[in-house]
Copies of this chain bind each other. A is one copy, B any other.
Amino acid sequence: VDTRFGHLHALRTIRDEGDVVIVIDQTQLPHRLIERRLTCLEDAAEAIRAMQVRGAPLIGAAAAYGVALALRRDAGDASLERALATLAATRPTAVNLHWAIARMRERLAPVPPAGRAHTALNEARALCAEGAATNHAIGEHGLALIEALVRSKRRRVNVMTHCNAGWLATVAYGTALAPVYAAQASGIETHVLVSETRPRNQGLLTAWELRQAGVPHTLVADNAAGYLMRQGAVDLVIVGADRIAANGDAANKVGTYLKALAAQDNGVPFYVAAPGSTIDWECPEGDAIPIENRSGDELRSIVGLDSRGRPARVQLAPGDTGVDNPAFDVTPARLITGMICERGTLPPNALRAAFEPVAPMHG
């Protein structure tokens, strides 16, 4: 059942009513605001696969809820393992998915089947609440960077971002946009340069949520990032991450690496904002991060609103056009000024000292 909303303030990216998990269908945004009701494991897995829920932190939350939905029907060991495996196979790059799955396994395996469904729901809720708190902390640490720039530039700060690492990509606040929202809450106005983010145009999600929040922003083509930095139009870049290797190399939406190169060439600070759960200690460096390749149809056709305001798909290139469509790229740690995490803003090579002892999920 789809539901249409007139009032945004009641919305959350993910919430539950016990036996139903309710998400915003992000494939319909910015054209339509529609919720989807997930009632079983396959609903949750398909929502992640089809990118109805997207953004590394939100994928993790949806996977946790997916386990809870699966266990409502059958809480035996086989069902639990099947749920964990099904969810783990949905998307390859974002490690928060695997982090959430590992956390659910660790929490649920020792619980007798009769108590698992209840425990799983509580754990999914806890994971969401912690995610919100984590992102709030990221916002506060990022705010300090923005405040310092406001003091030195004595004018409004221009933040460039890529893809959507805002409220929509997380349970709350966002990662890359959390500092922008924290600034707004402190009465500091920023201006966000939103790159379109082809081929799935998640920049339009970012523009949509910034508009809802009343944050000034400007949409630009991905191609314009270098020119704008060279013109001095960008004070800092903040992006999210889908997986950070132990050495600080960061996988994020394809095109991030190009922005990092342009930032370095123009002396613009380049930050990655992500929770500690994005770090994969088993990946020694970026080249070990699996990169998802998605359907060429993402470039061959596109959905917009037709002249009557209805969503309509149009074909941009013939259906048999050969396409290569990697969804992520890796930004080497050498191009990253700092990681904005819940424990502060750290140089990429300080992640291990800050996080590893207390987050040994993968070893």
Contacts and interface: CB of A to CB of B under 8 A. Distances in A.
A255 B196 contact: no
A254 to B, nearest CB: 5
Interface string A288-326: 000100001001111111110000111111100111111
Main SS at interface, chain A: mixed
A222 B198 contact: yes
A258 B262 contact: yes
Contacts of A96: none
Interface stretch (A99-107, A167-175, A212-220, A238-246): A212-220
A325 B224 contact: yes
B258 A225 contact: yes
A218 to B, nearest CB: 5
Contacts of A362: none
A304 B321 contact: no
Contact of A220 (B30, B303, B318, B325): B325
Interface string A140-168: 00000000000000000000000000000
A10 to B, nearest CB: 22
Contacts of A225: 258
B325 A221 contact: yes
Contact of A302 (B207, B265, B304, B324): B304
A122 interface: no
Interface string A186-205: 00000001001111010010
Contact of A224 (B228, B254, B316): B254
A254 B223 contact: yes
A204 B169 CA distance: 31
Contacts of A352: none
B322 A217 contact: yes
A259 to B, nearest CB: 8
Contacts of A226: 255, 257-258, 261, 329
B221 A257 contact: no
B221 A299 contact: yes
Given A198-B196, A261-B261, A220 B323 contact: yes
A82 interface: no
Given A254-B224, A262-B258, A317-B204, A219 B305 contact: no
A330 interface: yes
A196, A223, A312: residue with the most chain B Cβ atoms closer than 10 Å: A223
A207, A305, A314, A315: residue with the most chain B Cβ atoms closer than 10 Å: A314
A228 B324 contact: yes
| The 9 residue pairs across chains A and B that have the minimum distance between CB atoms | A223-B255, A304-B314, A227-B329, A261-B261, A226-B257, A305-B315, A258-B258, A223-B254, A218-B322
Interface of A: 30, 193, 196-199, 201, 204, 207, 211, 216-228, 230, 233, 253-255, 257-258, 261-262, 265, 291, 296, 299-307, 312-318, 321-326, 328-330
Given A207-B321, A223-B254, 7 more contacts: A204-B316, A211-B318, A219-B322, A224-B254, A227-B291, A228-B326, A302-B304
